[in-house]
Structure 1
Amino acid sequence: MECHSSLFTPFLQQSNQIGFRQNSKAQRGIDLSGNKSHGKNYGGKRYNKGYVSVVFIALFAALALAIFSLYDAGIVASERIRMQNTADNVAYSTTNMITRDMNIIAITNRAMVANQVAIGQVLALASWANMVQEFAGNLETLGDFARLIPVVGPFIERFTEIIYQASTKLKNTL
């Protein structure tokens, strides 16, 4: 076999100079001694087949880890967004409930103030009616003295009595 390889050596050297690819037995995995080797022989060093499988296994493991990390980061981000939305909804609902409660308190306060104003107005009106009745009573007393005046006296007395009776009815109504 060595003689065959020595026969091809000038041809191989010539093909390398021309630029052809070498397709020797050494590159096809055949030992120059005729035995088939399981690896390629480059420059006297033998490389076994399958070393690429180890690299691919490491590459696939790293790729799987990266995909899992990306998936896990997506799940964590989704969970954070869901928790933030829940917190926002709780804050909005609480604010809405407190706002409604404060509106009810404000309406109740206005009603209480309106009630107090109405009570004040009724008291003021009752006080005014009492004062008018008191004034009419004093006027009626003066009318009693005015009856002594000829011609106009009985008219003034009757007028003061009517005023006193009207003020008494007004006071009793309130």
Structure 2
Amino acid sequence: MRAVLLKGRVFALLVVVLLMGGCRTIVVTATDDICKKSVEVHLVGVNRFEKSRWESVSMTEYWKPGSDLRKSSKGYRYTIQFPVRSAAPLKGETPCRKILAEENKDPIWTIWKARSAEYLFVLADLPRGATKFKDLSGNADARRLCLPLDKGCWEKGEIGLSIEAANIVSLTMPKLKPQCMAD
């Protein structure tokens, strides 16, 4: 009887390890036209209680100099400036491609975990050329994309993103599970 209970516990532990295991990687690629300009992208990890604020904040206001929310998020956001200029680029990084891998021990992963971040907000200060951006809520605003941060929602734990002139595109789709739906 004890052996059966022990085997059951070991099996349950293995299942948990397999589900939680794997690395989480965010790959952000800018299209050539974006990469030629100076474009800033913020990756912000938020929990369920902060989500509605981040969905409703005006992107026009957020990107204005002196924005209170932008200033206050400095401690829990990851900033990418395209083109990327890195003294020690990771394998696969280019001026138009940035890789944020949990395995590389970037402190932002620890910060997001400590804040119980469940959602990743991708915010881009897209150029205002021919495209006139309207302030809309949630993913309806082309300058904002909200995705689940749980690595179990992504094949191989990778989130692929493309920063384009008119919007932000998720190149990988989360699994079709209730906990993987950002909206």
In the superposition, the TM-score normalised over structure 2's length comes to: 0.22
Q: Which has the higher helix share?
A: 1
Q: Which has the higher strand share?
A: 2
Choose between structure 1 and 2 for higher RCO, CA contacts under 8 A separated by at least 6 residues: 2
In the superposition, the TM-score normalised over structure 1's length comes to: 0.22
